[in-house]
Every structure is written in structure tokens, then in C-alpha cells.
Amino acid sequence: MSVTAAKGFVAAGVHCGIRKKRRDLALVRSLVPATGAGMFTVNRVQAAPVVVSREHLAVAQPQAVVANSGVANAATGEQGVIAARTTAAEAAWLLGLRTEQVLVLSTGVIGAPLPLDKVLAGVRTAALQLAPTGGAPAAEAIMTTDTRPKEALARGSGFVVGGMAKGSGMIHPNLATMLAVITTDYPLEPGEAIEFLRPAVEASFNSISVDGECSTNDTVLLLANGASGIERTPASDEELALCLRTVCRELARQIVADGEGATVLAEIAVRGAASEAEARAIAERIATSPLVKTALHGRDANWGRIAAAAGSARVDGGYAQLDPDRLTIVIDEVPVLVSGRPTGDEPELANGHCAIELDLALGDGAATYLTTDLSSDYVRINAEYRT
């Protein structure tokens, strides 16, 4: 019950009929006044729920979240926006809130109209089932091609941070085709939540990639209601930031591990770059290289593909600095290239995890990234997504 582990939060997950059998609508709310913030996709094609949630956050503090799976309500024009607003209004009426205090999330097929009658009926059912034990059903209700729910929890000194997320394909900053709702009973003032959320997202959800595709619906929300009643101090603020990073990183890891067709989880660590921005660009380039990802799927430690990807990382209109005579690459603790010289050693890549480390020996820039292999199952899943 991670999204309801913090005091004062309840949730529900129900089947409203968008999907044939699975739960497909989730409702989360705070029972006491909350404050919050959100981060959203940078895709120019933004789904109606993203547009509406942005509008609501600009004028009110969020108290509840409605999320549906199966239909993204993206590229649906004015009717899509009306549907998102109507969903928020229905939830607000049922919960005794103002419409602007309800945020809406959707995930699923792009371009399909939201079946509003089913969604509104689902909201009514979910409102009756809200409970502190509703976190797990809610996490299940936001799944699309996910094979399992994604939940995480971190406990601080007298407070809790919990969250749920969905994501499996179309995973790439900024953000990914993912939804995440994070709750805490830590006390925050209006306007403060974003300052805690942004760095946690940058270090987690914005440092992962499954297929290099940036979606239309990506949203991460944080709600804080202060129900823990703890006395806030600078030390407790630091602890909140740590707990929030922990929850976000764990949810991000679960998303990548559940990548569509994935059989390998790869951790890429770059250090010694000329700057942090260049380190990140190199890590991202390796993480999104089809040649690297297919080699991982074949359990082939083809470090030449890694080096080639690193050397073609773009940043600020040019390419990240890299001296091949200084480059060192280590795969699963086996050095394969040391200061530009091949060692002849060959890692086995025998399990479902791979650690790729690069040292450019040019500066202090460092970055990490999570990615997966690219399999024939990924092609099958996405080829059959609508059929």
C-alpha cells in the first residue's frame, strides 16, 4: 500500500470497462488539506490530461488524482480537454472538492477518444471504495503493457514517502511514457513541493531509457499533507529529499526492469567527462543506441559499439569531448579497454544485469543511466499494441 502508506491518504483501483478485464481506473486522495507539484512531458504533443493538470496546478493545491489506463486521451482535440475537465469535475463533486483541486492522468492508446461514460462511472465506483488499503489496486489500475505493478516506500524519522508508477515502453526523458503519483505526510508549504520533486525526478525518471521514445502523457505528481504532525527542521528537510530520491529511483528502476521485452537491465556510469552535461549526453547516447541494446540482448560484450556510441554523443550543437587514447571501458568489472588499448578480456554477460563503466579521463563530469536490451519481443509487443 505504498501510495497510501503515508498518513491521511486513501486510494482505490477499479474496472470501469476501458480494458476488457483489468482494473483501469485509479483514484487517490488526501483526507486532510495537501499541497503538491507536478512535472510533465516536454513532448510538443501533450495529452489533454497534461494540459488540464497543468492548468489546475497553476491555480490550486492538489487534493486528489484520477488516473485511467487503456486510452491516453492524447491528440483528441478540444473534446479530449473537455473529457479531462469533466472527469476532474465529477471527482471533485463526489469528494467535496473544487474541480481545480483534482488532477487527471491517462495512459494508453494515442488518438482514441476517452470513453467518458465509462470513466465517470468508474470514478463514482472508486469514490465509494477509497480506503487506506487501496494502494495496491490503484497501482494495478494504471498498468498498460506493464507486467507487474510498481510501488515503492521510504520511511523517514516520523514521516513516510510512498509512491506508485506505471511504465514499460516509450520510456525516455523528458519524462517517459510513465505516470507516477508520490505521497508523503511530511509538512510542506504551498510552492515548496516542486523544489523537492524536481531534483528527485532529474536523478531518476529523467535518467532512464527503454526505447528512446518520449511520450505525450508523462507525469510525476507529489502530494504532501503534513498529517505526520512532525516538527520540521532543516535536517528533516534533507531527510525528506533523500526519501523522495529513494522512492523515485526505485520506481524508475522498476520501470526499466519491466521494459517491454527486456531481458537485461543495464546500468551505465560515465565519469571523467569534461562536464556533467557531457557525461549525461554520453550516458544517454549509449543507453539509446540500438546497436548497444541489441548486443546486450545477444549477451555480447561488444565494447566497440559502446565506444562508438560514446564518441557520437551530441551536446550544445556539437559533440561531447572524448579522447580515444584516454578512454577506459569496464563491463561487469572486467576491463575491456584501458587508456585506449584493448585488453582482450571478454565478460560473460551471463545474467540479466550488466554494468557498463566509462572513464574519459578529461575532467570531473559524471552521470548514470539505466537502460535495457532491445529484443524481438519489444517489436512484437508494439506491433500488436492496437491489434
The pLDDT of residue 171: 47
Residues annotated as catalytic (active site), given as ranges: 177
The pLDDT of residue 373: 86
Tens-place pLDDT, residues 253-265:
888 777 666 788 8
Question: Where residue 386 falls among pLDDT bands split at 50, 70, 90?
Answer: low
What average pLDDT is seen over the chain?
A: 91
Alpha-carbon distances of 88 from 157, 216, 267, 308, 343, rounded to whole Å: 34, 19, 39, 48, 60
Cis amide bond preceding 206, omega within 30? no
CA distance 28 to 12: 7
Tens-place pLDDT, residues 13-34:
999 999 988 999 999 999 999 9
The pLDDT of residue 214: 57
Q: Are 206 and 220 in contact (CB under 8 A)?
A: no
Tens-place pLDDT, residues 178-190:
799 999 999 999 9
Tens-place pLDDT, residues 66-114:
999 999 999 899 999 999 999 999 999 999 999 999 999 999 888 899 9
The domains located in the chain, with CATH, are: 2-257 (3.60.70.12), 265-383 (3.10.20.340)
Question: Where residue 165 falls among pLDDT bands split at 50, 70, 90?
Answer: very high
Question: Where residue 176 falls among pLDDT bands split at 50, 70, 90?
Answer: very low
Lowest mean pLDDT among 216-225, 284-293, 372-381: 372-381
CA distance 88 to 51: 13
Calculate what percentage of the chain has a pLDDT beyond 90: 74
Tens-place pLDDT, residues 241-286:
999 999 998 998 888 777 666 788 899 999 999 999 999 999 999 9
Could you please report the per-residue DSSP string of 71-85? E---S-HHHHHHHHH
Q: Is the pLDDT of residue 55 over 60?
A: yes
CA distance 264 to 227: 40
Residues forming beta bridges with residue 342, ordered by sequence position = 337
The pLDDT of residue 168: 64
Q: Rounded to the nearest 5°, which phi and psi values hold at 262? A: -75, 140
Tens-place pLDDT, residues 191-235:
999 999 999 998 888 777 654 455 678 899 999 999 999 999 999
- In Å, how far from its chain's centre is CA 53? 17
Query: What is the per-residue burial (b if ≥16 Cβ within 10 Å, else e) of 246-265?
Result: bbbbbbbbbbbbbbbbbebb
The pLDDT of residue 202: 86
The pLDDT of residue 376: 78
Most confident residue range from 17-21, 315-319, 324-328? 324-328
Biggest alpha carbon distance in the chain? 68
User: Cα angle vertex 159, ends 158, 161, to 5°?
Assistant: 155
Q: Is the pLDDT of residue 6 over 70?
A: yes
Question: Where residue 177 falls among pLDDT bands split at 50, 70, 90?
Answer: low
Model pTM?
A: 0.81
CA distance 29 to 293: 40
Q: Which of 103, 47, 52, 383 is nearest to 215 (CA)?
A: 47
CA distance 329 to 339: 9
| Bridge pairing between strands 179-184 and 219-224 | parallel
Cell numbers linked to 224: 504532501
- CB atoms under 10 Å from CB of 93, counted, come to 15
Helix/strand/coil for 114:
coil
